[in-house]
Amino acid sequence: MRPALNNQDSYEPRFQGYVEGLKAELQAGTDRGVVLTCASMLEVALEDLLSAFLIDHSITKDLLRHPGKPLNGLANRINMAFAMGLIIPSDRLTLDIVRDVGCEAASSARFELARSEHATRIRDADGRSEVKHTDHSDRDKLFHITMACLSGIRHAIASIGGNRVMIRKTYVHEG
């Protein structure tokens, strides 16, 4: 199990690990492997983001890591991070695209990104980005939109810093 992220630590080494892992898979992997790597790295990065925001407690870890719990899984993490205002609407849409194509890839051993029912959505998401990648492959475009989301998550974690807040006791016990 990977070590928990401490808000006081720099997120940069973990972020760089994601970047290197994605680049390696992009160079040597199959379309299916690239898609599943992108989806899994975003899922872990969202866990990092939620962990950075939520209180450091065993219940929080349980909610994030155990199957069937409300913060486990990419879809749940996307929805919770968005509901908490930790990701912006455009990143939520992009994360939903990666989640959907990831589900498609996970269910097909012969998955091809160019033939994916979500390929047009990936191209559209990449076309909405600030940097246009018109001459790149669908794999490259998936990499670009994944990197944009990872960058947004990195920025959100940095802005949280060590500022976890717990509501103080606001009631008095009657004796």
pLDDT, tens digit, 9 for 90 and up, residues 135-160: 688 999 999 999 999 999 988 988 88
- Decide: 144 and 129 in contact? Cβ < 8 Å: yes
pLDDT digits (tens, 9 = 90+) for 126-137: 877 665 556 688
Q: Angle at which helices 138-160 and 89-106 pack, to 10 degrees?
A: 130
Average of per-residue pLDDT values in the chain? 84
- φ/ψ region of 71 (left if φ > 0, alpha if ψ in -120 to 50, else beta) reads alpha
Query: Distance (Å, rounded) from C-alpha 156 to C-alpha 149?
Result: 11
Query: Distance (Å, rounded) from C-alpha 135 to C-alpha 5?
Result: 37
* DSSP codes joined into one string, 100-167: HHHHHHHT-TT--GGG-TTHHHHHHHHHHSSS--TTS-HHHHHHHHHHHHHHHHHHHHHHHTT----P
Give how far the C-alpha of residue 55 lies from the chain's centroid of Cα atoms, to the nearest Å. 19
Q: What is the DSSP letter of 170?
A: -
pLDDT digits (tens, 9 = 90+) for 31-85: 999 999 999 999 999 999 998 888 888 888 888 888 888 888 999 999 999 999 9
For residue 54, the tally of other CB atoms under 10 A from its CB is 17
The token duo for 5 is 């992220």
Q: What is the pLDDT of residue 40?
A: 92
CATH code of 22-160, in short, is 1.20.120.330
Query: Distance (Å, rounded) from C-alpha 75 to C-alpha 151?
Result: 19
C-alpha angle 32/95/71, rounded to 5°? Answer: 100
